Amino acid sequence: MTTTVPDAAKAVRHQRHDVADKPFITIWEVTRACQLACLHCRADAITRRDPLELSLDEGKALLDQIASFPKPYPLVVLTGGDPFERPDLGELTAYGSSLGLSMALSPSATPNLTTERLGELRDAGGKAVSLSLDGAQAPTHDAFRGFEGTFDRTLDAARLATDAGFRLQINSTVTRSTVLELPRLLTTVLDLGAKLWSVFFLVPTGRGQQLQTLSPDEVEDVLHWLVDVSRFIAIKTTEAPHYRRVVLQRLDAARAGRTPEHGPLHAELTAMTRELLGDREVHERPARPPIDVNSGRGFVFIDHQGWVYPSGFLPHRAGNVRDTPLPEIYRESPIMRALRTPEQFVGKCGVCEFREVCGGSRSHAYAVTGDPLASDPTCSYVPAAALGSAAAQGGVAASAAAQMRAHAH
Ligand code: SF4
């Protein structure tokens, strides 16, 4: 497969505002209640709502806090658990919309997800729905989610969501046992008419500790494959910011007429994709550049009790919106500030020429070492500075990164 790589200055989208001033996106876990029992659940979700979760009034106050950031406001995603477990979800969505916030929903595929409920949320101003699809076939996905029938229910829910007028995003978790289902998942995601495919590289937290993560070389192969298929659908990676490094390296390679080197997993994924797509007509589009968001740097997570974290997978508390406004926590808390200072990162991420456009998964670093500023253990790249030959190894890539920074400011 060949890949069209965009212009260097546009290969990675930069946030257009000061990332220390406001996030690009806020994720609010409105409840931890959920009827599913997913193997990888970050939240260790429970079947009943926690009496300590933010009330309707406290939730509205949180939305007021989000709307106190300067315009354009951060995007808001209501997640869980299953947000549909909250009967006041429509009221929260309507309130956020009335403040001018762009509201998205991330429900679980359960019997709660009905045409009526989706219609109510669409009427309340909900704009996008994201659904999880982790296997390309029912046995894999259902085993992952802990309930039979979830795969079919998810496909039905995706159709209901698009019929209701929501923009659809599909989220897929990659593990060692499901990675070879990615090509078939791609075709399913395309068939569903999703606008964005978010591929999540499992962080071993919550119930996810029981699953096998990929090796750094395997992650690298998957990232290259994602660049390949980004001409079919917009790709977002979660907890793999080195996708942006791979995009830049592919740009360098294309400019120099080099064919990037790949490992056996990339070859296998590529062969499977070719076979599955066959003669099928798939609309190709210019690859959508990934945006340079990272934990605490454009991204903030608020849990069901109001605790604020740099990411849902980085369990390091920065404060609580019950006693401190979210803008103050985001701007001032030591953990958020440290995560926005990549020169403080330890090890190779701290000296990497891509540290400002990538920065590594802070959640993976924390999960494996207990230090959120440590190097990302899922990245196979050896920075030029670590090799002691910056010019030979990273000169072109670093200049691309510098060019992008110059473009952004
Ligand atoms: S070494 Fe760290 S900053 Fe550099 S590309 Fe890898 S994860 Fe990103």
Task: Name the phi and psi angles at 151, rounded to 5.
Answer: -60, -55
Residue 209's pLDDT is what?
60
Q: Is the pLDDT of residue 391 over 80?
A: no
Q: Are 47 and 110 in contact (CB under 8 A)?
A: no
What number does the ligand 1 atom closest to the CA of 358 have? 8
pLDDT band of 206, cuts 50, 70, 90: low
Report if residue 68 sits inside a domain: yes
Token pair belonging to 360? 């590594």
- Averaged pLDDT of the chain: 88
pLDDT band of 112, cuts 50, 70, 90: confident
Q: Is the pLDDT of residue 22 over 90?
A: yes
Report if residue 51 sits inside a domain: yes
Residue 198's pLDDT is what?
97
pLDDT band of 392, cuts 50, 70, 90: very low
Residue 177's pLDDT is what?
86
Tell me the residue range of the domain where 28 lies: 18-277
Task: Name the phi and psi angles at 107, rounded to 5.
Answer: -80, 165
Q: Is the pLDDT of residue 273 over 70?
A: yes
Of the listed ranges 225-239, 299-313, 325-339, 394-408, the one predicted with least confidence: 394-408
**Site of tokens 């998205």:** 104
Residue 354's pLDDT is what?
94
Q: Are 384 and 249 in contact (CB under 8 A)?
A: no
Report if residue 170 sits inside a domain: yes
Give the residues across from 319 on adjacent strands: 308
Report if residue 209 sits inside a domain: yes
Task: Name the phi and psi angles at 74, rounded to 5.
Answer: -60, 150
pLDDT band of 37, cuts 50, 70, 90: low
Mutate to test the pocket of ligand 1, among 245, 339, 371, 378 (most ligand atoms within 8 A of CB): 245
The pLDDT tens digits of the residues spanning 135-169 come to: 888 888 777 766 778 899 999 999 999 999 999 99
**Reported pTM:** 0.89
Q: Is the pLDDT of residue 74 over 70?
A: yes
pLDDT band of 39, cuts 50, 70, 90: low
Token pair belonging to 61? 């106050």
Token pair belonging to 13? 């989208």
Give the residues across from 105 on adjacent strands: 78, 129
pLDDT band of 111, cuts 50, 70, 90: confident
Indicate the pairing of strand 298-302 with strand 307-309. antiparallel
Q: Are 358 and 245 in contact (CB under 8 A)?
A: yes
Residue 49's pLDDT is what?
79
Does 297 contact ligand 1 (Cβ within 6 A)? no
Residue 68's pLDDT is what?
98
pLDDT band of 404, cuts 50, 70, 90: very low
For residue 114, give the CATH number of its domain.
Answer: 3.20.20.70
The pLDDT tens digits of the residues spanning 316-346 come to: 999 999 999 999 999 999 999 999 999 999 9
Report if residue 206 sits inside a domain: yes
Token pair belonging to 4? 């069209």
User: Which residue minimizes the CA distance to atom 7 of ligand 1?
Assistant: 360
Of the listed ranges 15-24, 188-197, 396-405, the one predicted with least confidence: 396-405
- Give the C-alpha separation, 321 to 62, whole Å: 7
Q: Is 122 helix (H, G, I), strand (E, B) or coil?
A: helix
Report if residue 374 sits inside a domain: no
Q: Are 223 and 387 in contact (CB under 8 A)?
A: no
Q: Tally the domains of the chain.
A: 1
Q: Is the pLDDT of residue 3 over 80?
A: no
- Give the C-alpha separation, 310 to 27, whole Å: 10
User: Which residue minimizes the CA distance to atom 2 of ligand 1?
Assistant: 349
| Average pLDDT, integer, range 71-95 | 96
Does 358 contact ligand 1 (Cβ within 6 A)? yes
- Give the C-alpha separation, 404 to 306, whole Å: 36
Report if residue 54 sits inside a domain: yes
Does 379 contact ligand 1 (Cβ within 6 A)? yes
Distance 222 CA to ligand 1 centre (A): 16
Q: How would DSSP label each residue in 360-397?
A: --HHHHHHHHS-TTS--TT-----HHHHT-HHHHHHHH
The pLDDT tens digits of the residues spanning 217-266 come to: 999 999 999 999 999 999 999 999 999 999 999 998 988 999 888 999 99
Q: Are 254 and 3 in contact (CB under 8 A)?
A: yes
Residue 211's pLDDT is what?
63
> 207, exposed or middle or buried, with CB in 10 Å at 0-12, 13-18, 19+?
middle
Q: Where are the alpha helices (DSSP H) in 80-114?
A: 89-98
Query: What percentage of the chain has pLDDT greater than the value 90?
Result: 68
Token pair belonging to 241? 């910011």
Q: How many CB atoms lie within 10 A of CB 409?
A: 6
Report if residue 320 sits inside a domain: no
- b/e map of 113-144 (b: 16 or more CB within 10 Å)? beeebbebbbebbbbbbbbbbbbbeeebbbbb
Q: Is the pLDDT of residue 270 over 90?
A: yes
pLDDT band of 401, cuts 50, 70, 90: very low
The DSSP 8-state label assigned to residue 11 in this structure reads: S
